[in-house]
Amino acid sequence: MGNPPPSTPVTPIGDDRRKQSLAETLAAAPDISRLRIFAYGSLMWSPCFEFIGRSRGTLYGYHRGFSIWSVHARGSPENPGLGFALEEMSDARCDGMVFSLPKNVSEQDLIPLWEREMWTETYTPTWVWVNMEGMKVQALTFVVSTDHMQYAGNLPLEIKARYIARASGKYGTCYDYLSETVKVMRDYGVRDPEMENLLAAVDELIC
């Protein structure tokens, strides 16, 4: 069951609140000298931070969906798009990319990431355990806040496809956002039938 687009304007959080969120997240880091980020959407192909390595990773207990309303990055208030979200869900798994950051990474270095992922508080920065190259590592990822006004929930496939086919925002079209993510997943051997089916449905609409 899905939720309709926000009926009132979506207001970004202030810079002070964003910096506070970043500081609190880093203070809770398991090892500040070995920071990793688990990417499951556009960060896989367009990271906004310096990294020294990346590997495939699997996160259990979470599901990747196209389940938040985008009214800034890939849509507008008048023509909302949809965006990727990671939602905690038993018996689920999400395959993505684990980025290893330099040892000297600073809070300042991560401000672009927070400006992109924490424009509003649609997500909660969360430290999770990820399976990577035969071992478990802790990484930072962004989990959807299901009580946020931008949470779209589980919309029917055909409805999601219609929104994706026509929306665009500050960072480009919603279609490119989806197709580039599916492309990089294919390149790295990551299989996500749900996203493949969604892209196929959008392709049918815009052909």
Distances (CA, A) of 198 to 34, 190, 201: 35, 16, 5
Is 197 within 8 Å of 157 (Cβ atoms)? yes
Q: Which contacts qualify for 110-115: CB closer than 8 Å, 24 or more apart?
A: 110/22, 110/26, 110/49, 111/18, 111/19, 111/22, 112/48, 112/49, 113/37, 113/48, 113/49, 114/18, 114/19, 114/21, 114/22, 115/18
Query: Which residues participate in catalysis according to the annotation?
Result: 117
Please state, in angstroms and rounded to a whole number, the distance separating the CA atoms of residues 46 and 23: 23
CA nearest to 74, candidates 203, 172, 166: 172
